[in-house]
Amino acid sequence: MSTATNGTLDAKRSPMWSAGYGHDAISTRTLGFWLYMLSDAMMFTALFVAYTVLGHAFNAAGGPWGATVAHPGVAFEETVWLFSSVLAYGLAMIALTKGHRGGVMLGITAALLIALGFLSVDIHEILHLFRMGATPERSGYLSAFFTLVFYHGLHVVAGIAWMLVMLIQVAFTGLTEKVVYRLLNLRLFWHFQAVMWVFMFTFLYLRGAIV
């Protein structure tokens, strides 16, 4: 720790002030985004807790429950859409490591269009449930079910909006430091919502259908 014990120290040999010290913007931004994802994961956790607590037959209050609400087949179709979109975004990131602007834009556009495909299936399924009388107002069970579905859907919508913004920025400002850390964070975000979807698929749809 200390280099001298006699109470004096050569300030030249042990510098007191650091020259040329800076911070890495991309890694600082990425750490912050990881922390944000942790907080968002806690929100999902709380919603899953609510879903588990309200997941009993009596929480359905005599309304639709179990396999009538949870359709694993449709959810599998949604999974394929979602994961393809993540894959497309991953390809855009490979183009980013090569500094290939066109490739980045192509990948993001593909991810965006596939995500729209997911959304259309998702909305179609929700409307189908609404038509058969399974609405959030019907019971505590359905409230928790739909809140999770909508909260995840909100992430997909936010991701699509973010992709649109990034397409414009990549096209007009190019791959500057700020654009790059946003692309990297969007990658994290897009994977994050897919991971959350895995939990949705497992607990809402697979387990939900066999109770």
Partner 1 sequence: MLVHIDGPWSPLLGRLALSEIPYKNPILVGTFVFAMLVGVVLVGLATYLGAWRTLWRDWLTSVDHKKIGIMYILIGLVMLFRGFIDAVMMRTQQALAVGPRSSGYLHALHGYLTPYHFGQIYTAHGTIMILFAATPLLVGIMNILVPLQIGARDMAYPYLNAVSLWLTAAGAALVMASLFIGNFAHAGWFGIVPVMELPYSPGVGVDYWMWAFQLSSIGTTLGGINLLATIVKMRAPGMTWGRLPIFTWASLSANLISLTTFPVLTVTLALLALDRYVGTHFYTAGLGGNLMLYNDLFWIWGHPEVYFVILPAFGMISEIIPTFSEKPLFGYLGMVLASLGIAGVSWGVWLHHFFTMAAAPAVNAFFSITTMVVGIPTGVKVFNWAFTMFRGRLRFELPMMWASAALFLLLVGGLTGMMNAFATNDYMVHNSVFVVAHFHMMLLLIVYAIFGGVNYWFPKVFGFRLEQRYGKMFFWLFTAGTAVVFIPMFTLGFMGMTRRLDYVAFPQWGPLLDIEVAGIAIYALSVVFLLAQLYVSFRDRAQNRAGLDAWETSRNLEWMTHSPVPFYNFAVTPEIHARDERAWRVEHGVDTVRPERYEDIHMPRNTALPLGLGLLSFGLAFGLVWRIWWLASVCAAMIVVLIVIRSFDNDTDYTIPAQDVERMERDIRDVPSGRPVTGDVAGGVPAFREGV
Quick check: 140 binds partner 1 (CB under 8 A)? Answer: yes
Quick check: 58 binds partner 1 (CB under 8 A)? Answer: yes
To partner 1, the closest distance from the beta carbon of 162 in angstroms equals 9
User: Going residue by residue from 143 to 172, which x/- string records binding to partner 1, judged by CB under 8 A?
Assistant: xx-xx-------------x---x---x---
**CB neighbours of residue 9 within 10 Å:** 13
Quick check: 103 binds partner 1 (CB under 8 A)? Answer: no
Question: Residue 207: CA atoms inside 13 Å, Cβ hemisphere, count?
Answer: 13
Quick check: 46 binds partner 1 (CB under 8 A)? Answer: yes
Cβ-based burial of 65 (10 A; exposed 0-12, middle 13-18, buried ≥19) = buried
Angle, in degrees to the nearest 10, between helices 177-199 and 25-53: 20
Q: Which of 2, 13, 73, 127 is close enough to bind partner 1 by CB under 8 A?
A: 2
Cβ-based burial of 111 (10 A; exposed 0-12, middle 13-18, buried ≥19) = buried
From 3-11, 67-75, 107-115, 193-201, give the range in contact with partner 1 by CB under 8 A: 3-11
Cβ proximity to partner 1, 94 vs 133, nearer residue? 133
Q: What is the largest CA-CA distance in the chain?
A: 85
Round to whole Å and give the CA distance between 85 and 116.
Answer: 9
Quick check: 26 binds partner 1 (CB under 8 A)? Answer: no
Residues that bind partner 1 (rule: CB under 8 A) add up to a total of 57
Q: Which of 13, 16, 73, 131 is close enough to bind partner 1 by CB under 8 A?
A: 16
Quick check: 35 binds partner 1 (CB under 8 A)? Answer: yes
Angle, in degrees to the nearest 10, between helices 177-199 and 140-173: 160
Contact assessment for residue 25 and residue 179, using Cβ atoms and an 8 Å cutoff: no
To partner 1, the closest distance from the beta carbon of 44 in angstroms equals 9
Q: Which of 181, 180, 198, 189 is nearest to 162 (CA)?
A: 189
Residues that bind partner 1 (CB under 8 A): 1-2, 4, 7-9, 11, 14-23, 27-28, 31-32, 35-36, 38-40, 42-43, 45-47, 49-50, 53-54, 58-61, 63, 136-141, 143-144, 146-147, 161, 165, 169, 173, 176, 178, 182
